[in-house]
Chains A and B, each alone.
Chain A
């Protein structure tokens, strides 16, 4: 099984001797849309398409970061791994969507110092101010405890799965392809959140109390309540919280703190290479 020509046990070996620009903070060195036809179909407004991709990509990026904050803190090892896996899927969706936004309308990409090797999707992730993000307030909120994280994930994954199913009819074939792939992943995410929602609701008095408190904390930030969410609440015998929708506009303060943590090293070293 071992292949002497390829040393997968040494993460650094593959970095040496390559001609690719190796920016220090990216997760990969290749355009995730390499070779994909990214021309915008006739009749579609490139600027609007880019904004749509930014909204979908930013939701994925910010929720991915929130979920990755559970790494080594989850209630048990299996949950730690599950949350990291879901975060990784969302990060992959974010990369594709931000790269698609940049290809559709390059003017959305922040201008970086000359000589910076930062690829477009990373420039969008690391070098935009909070005000330029298009994500929903729901994904920005702090994690709270595991019950609150579960309640938020149920709302977001249900809405995102429904939206991605609709996107398969979109006029942009790149967005259609990203959505078709994402549907398969989001199906697992929604089931994970739904199963844990029911488990916590039917567990102990304390797990139920925490779940109801967590749901009440995120409920005002919901957008559409999907039929799947109603179904889960019914099975779990949890009433919809009575709170109305939050009417505030703009981003939460939590997003600024999240971005400060996520962006600080990249912003300090915009030309950073290894």
Chain B
């Protein structure tokens, strides 16, 4: 029998299906007691609508393998893009998405940013470092929109959080 952990780890994110839940860093714990499994996941953003789908996919995939799974939510510590694995970052780039840089950390009050967020973003299509931010908010909560000023292709950047 395949371990519950390895089945849960291979379930994919419905919005960025090049990433497994493990690569995305939302899979926090898999506890198996015989055929009964408790999977703990954490939301990327408070309103992430993919949570319901992740939960259903985990339950179904584990059921297919003979497990009776429950999914619970863990809110703390809050998810960070720093938890996206190196394999996940590679998969993002291979699929034309720009991987996040290090998440910001603050001691004391969070400073206001009045200029567009400065990031060293490389075009995932042509590799050019000459890119510009189109919008800090993209098609899903976790992505910003960018454009390469060399190859002119638009692309998405998974933003640091």
A interface, CB within 8 angstroms of B = 1, 3, 5-6, 8, 14, 18, 27-30, 32-36, 78, 81-82, 85-86, 88-93, 95-96, 161-162, 165, 173-174, 176-178, 180-185, 187-188, 190-192, 194-195, 198, 227-228, 231-232, 235
Contacts and interface: CB of A to CB of B under 8 A. Distances in A.
Given A89-B46, A185-B46, A194-B114, A34 B71 contact: yes
A91 B141 CA distance: 12
Interface in B38-70: 38, 40, 43, 45-49, 51-53, 55-57, 60-61, 64, 70
Contacts of A81: 135, 137-139
Nearest to B38: A35
The number of chain B residues touching the other chain, given as a range, is: 35 or more
Contacts, number: 135
Interface in B133-161: 134-139, 141, 145, 159, 161
Nearest to B61: A5
A213 B78 CA distance: 38
Contacts of A227: 109
Contacts of A188: 136-137, 159, 161
Interface of B: 12, 14, 17-18, 38, 40, 43, 45-49, 51-53, 55-57, 60-61, 64, 70-79, 109-110, 112-117, 134-139, 141, 145, 159, 161
A162 B110 CA distance: 9
B134 A78 contact: yes
| Chain A contact residues, majority secondary structure | helix
B24 to A, nearest CB: 15
Given A30-B71, A177-B76, A191-B114, 4 more contacts: A5-B64, A34-B73, A81-B139, A92-B48
A165 B106 CA distance: 11
Contacts of A8: 14, 17, 53
Most B Cβ at <10 Å: residue of A6, A177, A228, A231: A6
B106 to A, nearest CB: 9
A185 B45 contact: yes
A236 B133 CA distance: 22
Contact of B43 (A3, A35, A181, A232): A181
B49 A28 contact: yes
B141 A177 contact: no
Contacts of B112: 190-191, 194, 228, 231-232
B47 A95 contact: yes
B124 to A, nearest CB: 16
